[in-house]
Structure 1
């Protein structure tokens, strides 16, 4: 069945309700964090995050902070605000504060190699969360960078492959399908990894396809909407738009509806708003992530190091309207 634009009133109700729930969640998370830090008096553990304005990163910070407080420790979360230079300074600040361990959600996975080396020379355990450290084109996700006690992340290539396998079920088989990819932002390893996995999923399914366009959406709904508007204006016969993050797929859905397009829509991340949109029929599917679980895994790697594999992850199923209840959004 082809996707059909849903009535404006239903769309408005779904989006408003989902946004209200998301705002409430973020407000609760930000309100709880300072109180939790103040209530604890144990050893301090730092998290350098890419930016708390990103809901996925905010959920990782919540998971890290909740796990620290539960263990009697004090979380110290520093917000890089999307700046590589600020993140470098934040990591130096955490070392100067003599924290017991540092988790880094790197803005630039290649630059982060120097940060890990520097923290290691200071004698502070360091873990990476949500993105690998190293060149994603040459380092496998489970090949953890030397100097890290652990990498807590979903397998981004596997996530892309799950999205590609799902896409294969939605695409026409009587002709080569026309696909567009909405990427994240430059420097993030997930951009290349998810795109590579997506193509692998399509190839394994034996689908005939052409990727006719690829534009960055910078991880935001506004960016996703703008990218999809541009692509649909130039390529109105697109069959499917693969968005590398759920925030972008929400914006892309607005562009698809405005253009009167029947393009199918797939995201990545399992956000609350994407789950609501899948239930409403505005988005076809996503890959379910658990960012709070990642934050907790990163803290545990620093607080209680264990022998064995240093790559820590969890299952990441693709979900559609029929299976979306299995994905409980954490952001």
Structure 2
């Protein structure tokens, strides 16, 4: 199911559960985490064994603790039916509010209606509710108190602004894009924002190749190897996820290429690679902030009047990488 797979690997992806796309799944993650004390709020997560999702859960639980509340975090383990059951469990427990990281954005519409019928506030985090092909990220589904997520087009623009500074100015630049995987809305959204930034700056460039890296390090390495064999003159690889940029860096080094490398996500490994000079830059995501934003919306925090809640996602290089602390 494309929608299920898209949510599972988003952000980025993101998804976006972009972080899920960028992370490797560990075995046997915990099924539930409860922090005791105060009013109880639930989080239905796609899978605590995914580092990005686990970071969102940490941000949610930490925000609850700061507010004198408790968090009940249920792990769907990548199973839509289990996630549906988890939401039923949270409603039966009469929690004060529920945040969902939906595995299936279409199926999640029914969960929102169910919570609304019981007058339980419900928010989405890291992935929108509704058809992602026709719904803009900031078009929050009716019945949700909020959606806390990244703006994937804005992430692409940040990557494009970074690329502009790295490209040669004396001739049209040759760019290759390492995409996520076919069918995921973040692939088009991040590419669109990337082009928007270059075009707005009047940058002269040509996209000489675009191949899927399937959100993994191995996929990114293979895609970059293939492109370099046909186009060894590539000036820059835009990788739509940090895991892919790590693999692409291996291919670039092996080929003796001088191509510049940028990613998206702000993973710990990407941050370390930027500090080491193996990668030129990335776009900084903060999954813990998403968890906190979702809790604050459920708890009635009115610091933001918008139902779409997000945070700055700057591009960082070796000079500014200290501004991005990897959270996954």
Contact in 2 for aligned 1:136/1:193 (Cα 8 Å): no
Distance 1:118 1:260 in 2: 57
Match for residue 44 of structure 2 among 32, 44, 48: 48
Shift in Å, 1:95: 3.0
How big is each residue's C-alpha offset from its partner over 1:14-54, in whole Å with a ceiling of 9 and x where there is no partner? xxxxxxxxxxxx9xxx89x94xx25x133332222233333
Is residue 2:314 matched to residue 1:330?
no
Q: 1:62: how far off?
A: 0.9
User: Cα gap change, 1:234/1:44 in structure 2, threshold over 3 Å: closer, same or farther?
Assistant: farther
**Structure 1 CA distance, aligned partners of 2:241 and 2:105?**
18
- CA–CA distance in structure 1, aligned partners of residues 65 and 322 of structure 2: 30
1:67-216 to 2 correspondences below 5 Å: 67-185=63-181, 188-216=184-212
Q: Aligned pair 1:308/2:305, yes or no?
A: yes
Q: Following superposition of structure 1 onto structure 2, how do residues 289-304 of structure 1 map, counting pairs within 5 Å? A: 289-304=285-300
Equivalent residues in 2 for 1:230-269 (5 A)? 230-269=226-265
Q: Aligned partners of 1:82 and 1:255: how far apart in 2?
A: 31
Secondary structure at the aligned position of 2:209 is classed as strand
| 1:76, distance to aligned residue in structure 2 (A) | 2.2
SS of corresponding position for 1:249: helix
Q: Note the 1:271-290 alignment, pairs <5 A.
A: 271-290=267-286
Which structure 2 segments of 5+ residues have no match?
1-25
Structure 1 unaligned blocks of 5 or more: 1-25
Equivalent residues of 1:136, 1:192 under 8 A apart: no
**Cα RMSD between the aligned structures?**
2.8
Count of residues in Structure 1 that have an aligned counterpart in Structure 2: 300
- Aligned partners of 1:183 and 1:215 also within 8 Å: yes
Distance change in 2, residues 1:177/1:121 (3 Å): farther
For normalisation by structure 2, the TM-score amounts to 0.80
TM-score, scaled relative to structure 1: 0.79
- Post-superposition Cα deviations, 1:166-188, rounded to whole Å, max 9, x if no partner, equal 11121234443332222335565
Deviations 1:111-166 (A, max 9, x none): 43343234323432111112322344443332222111011122221111010111
Cα deviations by residue, 1:247-305 (Å, 9 ceiling, x for unpaired): 22222222222232222111112222211111111111111121111111101111225
CA contact (8 A) 1:108 1:188 kept: no
